[in-house]
A and B are shown apart, each in its own frame.
Chain A
Amino acid sequence: DQQVKQNSPSLSVQEGRISILNCDYTNSMFDYFLWYKKYPAEGPTFLISISSIKDKNEDGRFTVFLNKSAKHLSLHIVPSQPGDSAVYFCAASGEGSNSGYALNFGKGTSLLVTP
């Protein structure tokens, strides 16, 4: 049962424009959300996280927005750079959920930033 869904397998964006990656979740007990970036042959690299008590968190070019009522979060990358081309994973956890401390991942979105 996939509790975290990334419905866009791929996304192509021009360099300098905004990249928006989306993520939906089904478990209302999730209260902590993370985004990871993964290059081929490497492990996931932590990008940014957000707690359910917030609706926005920024770190440089990366901003994560959380809409709890819609059970939806998004990652905005502005401006996008060719080096951002990677697979992006959304993950969620919640100590009160049926998965406890474990991270529940989506299947990932492959972002391609073209010059």
Chain B
Amino acid sequence: DAGVTQSPTHLIKTRGQQVTLRCSPKSGHDTVSWYQQALGQGPQFIFQYYEEEERQRGNFPDRFSGHQFPNYSSELNVNALLLGDSALYLCASSLGVRSSGNTIYFGEGSWLTVV
């Protein structure tokens, strides 16, 4: 049973560039959420996708956008990269949007370094 898979594992980008990160949810899961974890901090919620729509969004600027495909996989796009965007980006998957009573699984993350 494949867990949550993310790609790429590591990448380095230059300020102002754009980046796309990818996530495949755990088998049987239909909801994907993205989190940003800066060094020394806990993960911060970016947004959640369900039925190919953004269902909820955290306190992140419009430079952060996403997409969910019919097979439930998802992409996170960040435009006009800033140095402060350097972080571990985590994908979480679940069955349904509700968190209560739900087990939410995380991937291993994509390390983004902006130089």
Contact = CB atoms under 8 A, between A and B. Distances in A.
B108 interface: yes
B86 interface: no
B41 interface: yes
A105 B43 contact: yes
B101 A100 contact: no
Given A44-B106, A46-B105, A100 B40 contact: no
Contacts of B48: 101-102
Interface of B is mostly: loop
Nearest to B4: A43
Contacts of B35: 103, 105
A105 to B, nearest CB: 3
Contacts of B107: 43
A7 interface: no
A89 B97 contact: no
A45 B98 CA distance: 19
A91 B106 CA distance: 13
Contacts of B45: 99, 102-104
A101 B42 contact: no
Interface of B: 4, 6, 33, 35, 40-45, 48, 55-56, 58, 90, 92, 97-101, 103-109
